[in-house]
Every structure is written in structure tokens, then in C-alpha cells.
Structure 1
């Protein structure tokens, strides 16, 4: 792509000028392209704050806008439920036990690897080849709704909505013990645990975390609760459940592991252990998401029910069986 600078655009910063011309890219993405030498002015590499002059010629290499030589990810042919797809987005049901993007020790068995197999054509020119299509995350054992951005315009528009906290999310959590409150707000400051850096906790320093909750059903030993997180902190709902006194069923990291079944009578323990064997992880499901479509600008909402094993425990709570 080639752009010529008019007299009205003289002295403008390169990144600022392009962010208004290339609406499919965020300003951050444009700055990365400049830094990677994918945007040239008069056939020369320049910096993002370069001041333009009349008749300057800007060349933009969109076809290879990321340095893919530094990242080589394998495709993974793994079952993935695609709930909706158009030219901009795909809505998927994330499976349990799969982390979202590559991390130390796991580069080949992640959601990103699945996406590269399922959406190979759509994601081949992703700006960030290490996380193509990813605009938000779910924990490894959390199932449910995720938005996948299939182009840079969609990525930018949806990322801005997450940043502005205009996206509405709903989760279903199955927790230990009998909740008493019908609804409420849990708010605190979350920071990393100094002794265990993969764990988060209330802290004097960190980031604000806010969740609304509504009780679905309080069983005798387990409860079902809806959560509407207003912020998107790592492990937010899991920490809020723990610190509210009701850790999520199966959540070993936050005190909700199967060891808690030892607190109950033998027959109850056997029933809880059987339910745990079904899921082998924490019972948290991203049920629905509502956002503004990046192209139509209309509000859209998608939802997906939990899987069969989750529902077995969920229904046992609803039917007063546990």
C-alpha cells in the first residue's frame, strides 16, 4: 500500500497520521509496524515520531506486517465448537484443560494452536503471530464463550471495548458451601501472592477488581452462583469466591480442591468425590458475552451452556441432591 502526503498533513507525526488513515489498525499496532520496518517513508526506515512533509511517499507492507521468523507455532487439530463466525469475528466455546496462548513449557497444545488449524486462512497475517486472534483470556480449566478477532480492525475495536469495560460478561460458578446472600458486590485490590507468584490475593498494592453476583441456588453442600465481572483481572472470580468464603468447587489453587470433601460425612464425601472425578478441575463457566460488533456497531450477545459433566453437578445443586 502506498500513501502520498498532502500539504494539509505536513508536520504531522507518522504514527498519528496513519492511525487516522488505517482505521483497521490500532495506533499501537501501527507503531509496531514502523519499528519492524514495515512502514517506510521515501523508501527509508524512520521512527514513529517522524514529522511528515508535503509529497512524502509512505509505503506500508501489510502482507507481512509481523516478523513471523521469530515465532513458529504448530497447528493443532483439536475439537473446537464454533458458535458463530463472520468476516470479523468468531465466537467459540473454549474447551476445559486448554491454556489460551503459548507459555514456557507449552508451545504446541494451546488454544492458539487450535485456532491456527481452524482459522488458518483468516489468521495467517495476524500482527502478533504469537497470539493470533486473541483479545481476552480464560483460565486453563474455565470453559465457555470467547471472542476471536479475525482481522486487525476487529482486534482493535474489541480490545478498546475491553479496555473501556463496556463488554458485559456472565459466568456460572459452582462453589463449596451454602451461600446466604442472594446478590451483592465483591470489590478489592488484587495483587500477586509473594510466596506463590501464580496465585493472586487481596493486597494493598495492585489493581481494583469488582464483581457483581447473583445466587442461583444454595444447595446443602454446594451452591450455584452467577457472576458479572466489571473488571477483568487474572483469577478475579476465583479469588473473590475464596475470599468471600466459598471457593469454587475443584479449584485446588484457591482452596476449593477435593480435599475439602473430608470435612463431610462418609456418604456425602463419596458423592462429592464422584462429582469431582467428572470435571478434574474448577467449575467455572463463561456463559455469555455482549459487545458492539466491530463492523455493524450493533450490540450482539452470545451464550453457551456448560458441558455435560459440569451440568451433572449443576443440576444436582438445582435439584437439591447435594
Structure 2
């Protein structure tokens, strides 16, 4: 008998009016689920897709902000997260939310072909129970950072926290600031990059600035300039996949070390020089503001020190 992976997606304001099947296909693909639009249409007809608030749905429906769609993604075999004793830096933990300071090189959650060795496996090994709403492979996951990005990432432990945190992300009230080293000396001290991001039509494994993409906004401030690189602080207004990496590549300043969107000749770092430094959110139970800071990892500190000294770049 086949089991199903339950996953849920919340409709953002800027997504209002999109066709359900197109929107759902894109979200499933973003979660590393290899799916086509025609298959999603079959799932809708088969009743594998439900909506909050409840009601009859069709694949051609226009979605509305605030709706949540739950999908029962069929799986050939039941998926169970295996506990892995992975060193983790847990910087915040209470009955509703847990926040991890993730090192570069560690994946946030299991995916097809990568079932172990993730932050989720490490949290489960510590006896931490996460909300099931994110799905079997993504329990409690309300946002993600890339494998080769370091820094703060939060997880919901309860259903209430999951809905509250995803709503804050939808309304852009979560504070997320990053530190990055980019190629080139930037001429502007501050600025905003507003370019829509979607799947690269030439390579579905990549994201790109495309006219049909979703609204994406990144604010930045220059912290320090070097001979051929710039240290910047970025604030996410939206949270698209690979947003900072795609935006800075699009304006001619790709991130140092980025093997996907960057340049061949770059700084000696394993992965993009990008660190999720600040995370702020309203606590789902108390209503109080929680604001956390993560120090730069040693590899980025070393690069900055060497750039200042003129030893590289």
C-alpha cells in the first residue's frame, strides 16, 4: 500500500490570481519534488489536494492570498526520518520554536536521494518533536537556507507556531538579514534590487530573473569595499529560492564562491560567501519580538581579514 507525504503551502499576497495547478507545481518543484503540471491536475481530481478554508477546488481555480493548500504527495514507500547525531548549534529552543545556527555544507531537511545527514535528522536525534505540517521530509520547516549558506534557520514545533510563522513570512514581518561577499566594487552604498524570480527556462535546476517570475525584493547596504570585492549586508523583503544569489548575479556582482550563479575564478571558500546573520520574529504564543544574531563563521572572517590585508583579491 502506498503512503503519502503531507505538505502544506500558504498563498502569498503577490500570488493572488494564479492558477492553482501552476502555482502548486512550482512550489512542489521548489521542494525538490519532481512533478509535472499534468500530474498535479490528476492529484486535484483524485482529491489529494485540499484547501483551508474548505471547499470544492479545481485545477484551474484562481488562488487567493491567505488560503492554505495541503497536498498528499504519493510515495512508493513510507518515509521515516532517521535520527543522526550531527553536531548542531541550537541558539533558541522553547515549546513552540527552535532555531539552529547552521554551518555551511549542511542541508536543512531530507529530500529524495538525500534522506540523512540533515539538520532535521540532527534535531530528531535530540528528541525534538517538530510540527508535522511541513510534510514527512520537512516537518516544521517554515523557511530554508541553502546547503552552502551558513546561519540562522527556524523550525516550528507546534501546529500553531507553523501557521503563525508562515503567516509572518507571507506578510514580510520576519526580519532576515544576511552578510555576503560579492565580486566587484559596488558603486552604490545602499540600494534595492526588485526583479521577479522564477525557474530558469534553460535549466530547471536553477532560478533566474524572468518576467513571469514571482516578485522578489532585496535591500542592501555596503559595509566595506576591497580592491575587487565588496562586503554587503542584505535584508530580504521577500524570500524566493536563491534570491540573494540570483539578484546579485543579475546586477553584475555575483557572490564569491557561488558555483551555480558565480564566476569560475573566485575566493577560496567552500560554497557561496553568504551568512544568515539576523533572524527576528514575533513569538507565536507570547507575541513578543524574538531577535537573534549569529557571528560570521570562521571561513568568512578569514576571507575578510585577508581582503583587508591585500593578501587575496
Same fold (TM > 0.5): yes
1:237-316 matches, within 5 Å, as 237-256=244-263, 259-261=264-266, 272=267, 276=268, 279-316=269-306
Structure showing greater Rg = 1
2:199 to 189, 192, 195: 192
Does residue 1:79 correspond to 2:87, yes or no? Answer: yes
**1:221 aligned to 218, 228, 233, which one?**
228
- Counterpart position of 1:155: 162
The aligned counterpart of 1:15 is: none
1:317 deviation in Å? 3.6
* Cα displacement (A) at 1:109: 2.0
Secondary structure at the aligned position of 2:195 is classed as: strand
Deviation readout 1:234-259 (Å, 9 max, x if unpaired): 01000111111111000010023xx3
Q: Which runs of 5+ in 2 are unaligned?
A: 1-46, 49-53, 57-73
- Cα offset for 1:86? 1.3
The farther-off stretch of 288-297 and 70-79 is 70-79
- Partner residue, 1:233: 240
- CA RMSD across the alignment: 2.3
Which deviations, in whole Å up to 9, do the C-alpha atoms of 1:245-281 show, x marking residues without a partner?
Answer: 111000010023xx325xxxxxxxxxx4xxx1xx311
CA contact (8 A) 2:198 2:212 kept: yes
CA distance in 2, matches of 1:319, 1:296: 47
Distance 2:94 2:308 in 1: 36
Shift of 1:207: 0.3
Contact 2:226/2:307 (<8 A) preserved: yes
Deviation at 1:305, TM superposition (A): 0.8
**C-alpha distance in 1 between matches for 2:98 and 2:213:** 33
8 Å CA contact 1:217–1:318 kept in 2: the answer is no
Structure 2 Cα separation of the partners of residues 121 and 320 of structure 1: 45
Query: Which of 109, 132, 135 lines up with 1:126 in the alignment?
Result: 132
TM-score (norm 2): 0.72
TM-superposed CA distance for 1:318, in Å, is: 4.7
Pair 1:141-2:131 in alignment: no
Q: By how many angstroms is 1:121 displaced?
A: 4.4
Cα distance in 2, alignment partners of residues 218 and 91 from structure 1: 32
Q: 1:177 to 1:297 in 2, by over 3 A?
A: same
**TM-score, scaled to structure 1:** 0.70
Q: Is the 8 A contact 1:217 1:317 kept in 2?
A: no
1:110-137 deviations in Å (ceiling 9; x for gaps) = 222122112x2433x6343321221100
User: In the TM superposition, what is the alpha-carbon distance from 1:49 to its structure 2 partner?
Assistant: 5.6
CA distance in structure 2 between the partners assigned to 1:166 and 1:174 by the alignment: 25
Q: Following the alignment from structure 2 to structure 1, what is the Cα–Cα distance between the partners of residues 215 and 171? A: 14
Give the direction of change, closer, same or farther, for the CA distance of 1:291–1:121 in structure 2 (3 Å limit).
closer
The answer on whether the counterparts of 1:76 and 1:117 sit within 8 Å (CA) in structure 2 is yes
Change (3 A) 1:320 1:214: farther
Contact 1:173 1:225 in 2 (8 A): yes
Q: Are the counterparts in 1 of residues 86 and 117 from structure 2 also a CA contact under 8 Å?
A: no
